[in-house]
Amino acid sequence: MRFSAAAREKVFVAALLTPGLLFVVTFAFYPILYSVYLSLHRIVLGIPSLGRPFTGIDNYLRLLEDRVALHSLINTLLFVFTTTGFEILCGLIIAILINRSFKGRGIARAAILVPWAIPTVVSSQMWRFIFNDKYGLLNYIFYGNDTHAYTAWLAHPATAFAAIVIADVWKTSSFAGLIILAGLQVIPDELYRAARIDGASPWQQFRRITLPLIKPAILIALLFRTVDAFRVFDLVFVMTQGGPADSTNVLQFYGYKKIFTEGLMGYGSTISVFVFIISLVVSLLYIRVVGTRLFREK
């Protein structure tokens, strides 16, 4: 039996796509649906005698009244806004500095990439040590030898939250910087030359040429960073365990607590579904904005 060329190509494409599809469907898409299923049941790990009674939307109603969940939603949103804001700002500065060619640029660029490469658990332990109340570097920088003034930064709600923001901005600004840098590098030099001839000041050049042309790159950096900030976990787990008084409790950490330390597979899955929907909405929103922008330019 002989197949036509077109049929053979179809079989070929299917063969190429199958392995990847298998992984993604089994371990990413099916689990999402499974989460939805679990969220409609009452399941407590460790009490199998309970069975898994179907409870409809009970878990979702419970979520609406859960103050800690609301608190962690607010914390997550606050974390997303502050970190992405600072990261884009720092990234912009990094990109502008590194865009110029100078001696040692390669080494400077590699040095800036180091925080990005460090495992988050490691950078979290590192910052936890710097913020330490008894012998942390930060206390020494602020108060010197006056150990009575030393502050337990991670034990106060506002400073603990600031600490995880700082740790995140330190680690991921370089990533934002690289994306923005890639955007800067495609701006043709002639534009700046023409602007200079017309007598534009450096600030005007930045406002009128640089900023509009790197907007797509900024949006992409913003998208990646937002998605990532939504699932912050390692920092919170290592530095604060969500405390003090839930001031650094974030959605992903809260869901983890419910499912894996309290064993509430059903209710925890409700939080999972909720987190999934929020981040899906945010990404779709961004992709719409970024996508249309990119297609218009093409």
- Where in 33-62 is the site for another protein (CB under 8 A)? 34-35, 38
Please check whether residue 248 is in contact with residue 155, taking contact to mean a CB–CB distance below 8 angstroms.
no
Nearer to another protein, 35 or 248 (CB): 35
Please check whether residue 153 is in contact with residue 163, taking contact to mean a CB–CB distance below 8 angstroms.
yes
CB of 59 to another protein, least distance (A): 13
CB-neighbour burial class of residue 85 (10 A; exposed 0-12, middle 13-18, buried 19+): middle
Which pairs count as long-range contacts for 151-160, CB under 8 Å and 24+ apart, including other chains? 154/128, 154/239, 154/240, 154/244, 155/244, 156/244, 157/244, 157/245, 157/247, 157/248, 158/247, 160/239, 160/240, 160/243, 160/244, 160/247, 160/248
Give, as ranges, the residues between 220 and 249 that touch another protein (CB under 8 A).
220-221, 227, 230-231, 233-234, 237-238
Q: Which range in 7-15, 51-59, 77-85, 193-201 contacts another protein by CB under 8 A?
A: 7-15
Please check whether residue 249 is in contact with residue 193, taking contact to mean a CB–CB distance below 8 angstroms.
no
Give, as ranges, the residues between 152 and 171 that touch another protein (CB under 8 A).
170
Binders of another protein: how many residues, by CB under 8 A? 98
The C-alpha atoms of residue 248 and residue 99 are separated, in whole angstroms, by 36
Nearer to another protein, 68 or 111 (CB): 111
DSSP H or E stretch at residue 2: none
Q: Which range in 26-34, 48-56, 65-73, 78-86 contacts another protein by CB under 8 A?
A: 26-34
Using CB under 8 A as the binding rule, whether residue 196 contacts another protein is answered as no
Which among 288, 285, 289 is positioned nearest to 277, based on CA atoms? 285
Q: Which of 77, 155, 162, 182 binds another protein (CB under 8 A)?
A: 182
Please check whether residue 185 is in contact with residue 99, taking contact to mean a CB–CB distance below 8 angstroms.
yes
Q: Which of 63, 80, 222, 251 binds another protein (CB under 8 A)?
A: 251
CB of 107 to another protein, least distance (A): 8
The C-alpha atoms of residue 239 and residue 220 are separated, in whole angstroms, by 29
Give, as ranges, the residues between 86 and 145 that touch another protein (CB under 8 A).
93-94, 97-98, 100, 102, 106-115, 117-127, 129-130, 134-135, 137, 140, 144-145
CB of 43 to another protein, least distance (A): 9
CB of 111 to another protein, least distance (A): 5
Q: Which of 63, 80, 236, 273 binds another protein (CB under 8 A)?
A: 273
CB of 121 to another protein, least distance (A): 4
Using CB under 8 A as the binding rule, whether residue 215 contacts another protein is answered as no
Nearer to another protein, 20 or 56 (CB): 20
Please check whether residue 282 is in contact with residue 227, taking contact to mean a CB–CB distance below 8 angstroms.
yes
Nearer to another protein, 107 or 158 (CB): 107
Nearer to another protein, 117 or 197 (CB): 117
The C-alpha atoms of residue 170 and residue 29 are separated, in whole angstroms, by 33
Using CB under 8 A as the binding rule, whether residue 10 contacts another protein is answered as yes
